[in-house]
Structure 1
Amino acid sequence: MRRYVLFLPLAIFLGIGFFLWRGLSIDPTELPSARLNQPFPAFEKASLTAPEQTLTPDDFKGKVALVNIWATWCPTCKEEHAFLNQLAKQGVTIYGINYKDEPVKAREWLKRYLDPYDKVVLDEDGKLGLDLGVYGAPETYVIDAEGVIRYRHVGAVDARVWKDLEAVMEQVSSGAGA
């Protein structure tokens, strides 16, 4: 019995070493999405830019598009906003979800920094974001023409990220899936 006790520290060391090695090999930017390859979650929410209009997932159908989660309180959202405006000018369809924000501030933001979105859902209570599995703003999804989520990116969209998103959108448009 005494012999086994001598090997106990070695076994503990190897166990801790394994968990540290495993933890260091995980990509912290890669967050799984439970909604991947599933339809956009059901919702009925007001439009930010046309408050008398109610938007639903049907409003996101018809084109392969980006869905961008953003907020005025999010500094990274401001950082990516100019690039989203460039994409919109190039003809990329982008839907916005204004996440846990004040509508007045959000409308002022879009006036000041321009509006790259075809439609903007007002998600004041964050329920739609919760249903999507949003960790925080910004997040961007690629959806197909039927409104099925094909890809998720957490963080700002810039020229480097756009290459990946564009490739996924082309793949989805060609019917190859993501």
Structure 2
Amino acid sequence: MNRGLLFLPFAVFVAITVVFWVGLGIEDKSSLPSPLIGQPFPEFELGVVEDGRILTTTDLEGQPALVNVWATWCPTCKAEHDFLNALSDEGIRIIGINYKDDLDKARQWLADYGNPYAYNLSDPDGLLGIELGVYGAPETFLIDSTGVIREKHIGDLNPVVWETLGETFRGLK
């Protein structure tokens, strides 16, 4: 029997390991594709955190907006909040979705840290979040003036992310 054949199982194992390792490295882990890109924003009828009035999907239409999913229990939301305030100061329309949160805590948060949002939808049960495929807060969607989702970002918004996302946003009509 040829001694070289004894190493054949080991060689096959090494080849499979290399193929597996290379395959893991090819995947873009910074992007989770959303089937909602190019689709209308999901239908909703929710109260507004600030004043309790009821809004629907049609209230998103008219001009492009960032739709930011946030919560008071989310430490990353706190980290991005100053940047959202800065974007709002620049005239960027931001709609908030207060996700699985306490209404009184949300109001206090906005009083303490500033309110960059044109308005905040209260989603205490997370049902709109489910429709949007939200993994957790924060997540941000770019919508055009007709209410169609054009982009989704998972994680905090910051100047580095905004370099790319802002270009897309400025191109929306």
Q: What does the per-residue CA deviation read over 1:22-68, in whole Å, with 9 as the maximum and x for residues that have no partner?
A: 112222221111111100011111111121x1121111111011000
TM-score of the superposition, structure 2-length normalised?
0.92
Residues 5, 50 of structure 1: CA spacing in aligned structure 2 closer, same or farther, 3 A cutoff? Answer: farther
- Helix, strand or coil for the counterpart of 1:120? strand
Q: Which position in structure 2 is the counterpart of 1:35?
A: 36
Q: Which position in structure 1 is the counterpart of 2:49?
A: 48
Residues 21, 58 of structure 1: CA spacing in aligned structure 2 closer, same or farther, 3 A cutoff? Answer: same
After superposing on structure 2, the runs of 4+ consecutive aligned residues of structure 1 that deviate more than 4 Å are 2-6
Residue 31 of structure 1 aligns with an amino acid whose one-letter code is L
Residues 123, 14 of structure 1: CA spacing in aligned structure 2 closer, same or farther, 3 A cutoff? Answer: same
Give, in whole Å, the separation in 2 of the partners of 1:79 and 1:129. Answer: 21
Identity of aligned residues (%): 44
Q: What does the per-residue CA deviation read over 1:124-172, in whole Å, with 9 as the maximum and x for residues that have no partner?
A: 1111111111111111111000100001111111111122122001222
TM-score of the superposition, structure 1-length normalised?
0.89
Alpha-carbon offset, residue 14 of structure 1? 1.8
Q: Which position in structure 2 is the counterpart of 1:155?
A: 155
Give, in whole Å, the separation in 2 of the partners of 1:56 and 1:5. Answer: 69
Q: Which position in structure 2 is the counterpart of 1:176?
A: none
Written as runs of structure 1 = structure 2, the 5 A alignment for 1:69-108 is 69-108=69-108
In the alignment, structure 1 segments of 5+ residues that lack a partner are 174-178
| Matched pairs, number | 171
Give, in whole Å, the separation in 2 of the partners of 1:158 and 1:79. Answer: 9
Deviates more, 1:109-118 or 1:7-16: 7-16
RMSD between aligned residues: 1.7
Deviates more, 1:21-30 or 1:81-90: 21-30
Residue 124 of structure 2 aligns with an amino acid whose one-letter code is E
In the alignment, structure 2 segments of 5+ residues that lack a partner are none
- Helix, strand or coil for the counterpart of 2:172? helix
Q: Which position in structure 1 is the counterpart of 2:57?
A: 57
